[in-house]
Amino acid sequence: MSCDETFTEFLTRRGVSRRSFLAFCATTASALALPTEAARQLAANLATARRPSVIWLSFQECTGCTESLTRSGTPTVEALILDHLSLDYHHTLQAASGAAAEQARRDAMAANYGSYVLVVDGSIPTADGGVWSTIAGVTNLEMLRETMEGAALVIAVGTCAAYGGIPAAAAVTAPRLNQSGASSVGDLMDAGTIPSLPLVNVSGCPPVPDVISGTIAYFLAYGSLPELDDQNRPRAYYGKTVHDQCPRLSHYQNGEFALAFDDEGAQKGYCLYLLGCKGPETYNACPTVRWNLNTSFPMHSGHGCLGCSEAAFWDRALAADGSGFTGSCFYPDIRP
């Protein structure tokens, strides 16, 4: 695909109708809480958007974020948003390897200096000079610092990149306290360790695919970021708690709770709050956007929210003695 090809031309070549494209724009505008007339403007701007260069760096992570994003479904416009990008470097998806892969990254940086989008997933180790994770002999920290020099925007995909995630967990059984010095992109910016650039956090372990595609669609259309919350997350997707959007909310309001995962309440779809659900303090769009083409999210399968889109979610989910996940004692103010 030529970098001069517009998004509309690309979709037409892939067999996507204008009706489907407009439906996607309307849905995305609604999800982003844009006014009604903004859907037409989003469609007009996105239709003429050119293909941006994207460099995707993966550090201390499990590849779950990439796995999630590549399962948006096909041939949805959401998936094609990702296809439309010129993904010039990605450890998992690129064909090149070894020296050729690193040369591709440097070539993309030189050719698109000042305009490429940098996507980061995984936390960045900083202890012992960052040697806990290296790529081609270069520490993650040094590679991030180098690649950020010519980036126009940084998108931290997943909770590890946004907050440090599980690699940064301070396990309750000391002394195993984040030995790698795992840090988030934002923390490194705040510390002055790496350059400060426009940053958007798309948290979740992993994030919902449509959230990242919607955020990218907005950037393609307007050349700027949607409204962000105080943690640099798109407010439209992270503005409400999982609890407030949960299909089991009426059971909570009626005082109907499952007391075990296999009891009668669980079978009737009662609220999972007393089984440790972290929905009341977790902000995410998963109950409404959901995974697998809007098919499901954890509560649909009978499991409570783990709070994976929030900072330090792993530590907050553990009992004080490290014995396991806790329940409603984390929320004394709303305990039924």
Beta strand 53-58 with 116-121: parallel, antiparallel or unpaired?
A: parallel
243 is known to lie in a ligand binding site: yes
Angstrom CA distances, 103 to 51, 86, 110, 136, 301, stand at 21, 16, 10, 11, 44
Q: Residue 299, SS3?
A: helix
Spatial contact of 151 and 117, defined as CB atoms under 8 Å apart: yes
| Residues counted in the chain | 336
Q: Is 25 annotated as a binding residue?
A: no
Residue 271 known to bind ligand? yes
Least Cα distance to 310 among 123, 159, 161, 156 occurs for 159
DSSP states along 4-64: T--HHHHHHHTT--HHHHHHHHHHHHHHTT--TTHHHHHHHHHHT----EEEEEE-BS-SH
- Is 308 annotated to bind a ligand? Reply is yes
What does the alpha-carbon distance between residue 194 and residue 198 come to, in Å, rounded to a whole number? 12
CA distances from 147 to 82, 207, 281 (A): 21, 23, 35
Measure CA 160 to chain center: 9
**Residues 172/315, Cβ–Cβ less than 8 Å:** yes
Q: What is the dihedral of CA 139, 141, 143, 147, to 10 degrees?
A: 180
CA dihedral 251, 254, 257, 262 (to 10 degrees): -50
Cross-strand pairs, 177:
170
Q: Is 3 annotated in some ligand binding site?
A: no
Q: What is the DSSP string of 154-222?
A: EEEESHHHHH-TGGG-B-SSTT-B-TT--B-HHHHHHTTSS----EEEE-SSS--HHHHHHHHHHHHHH
- Binding-site residues, in ranges, read 62, 65, 160, 205, 243, 246, 271, 277, 286, 305, 308
- Binding-site residues for [4Fe-4S] cluster, in ranges, read 62, 65, 160, 205, 243, 246, 271, 277
- Binding-site residues for [3Fe-4S] cluster, in ranges, read 286, 305, 308
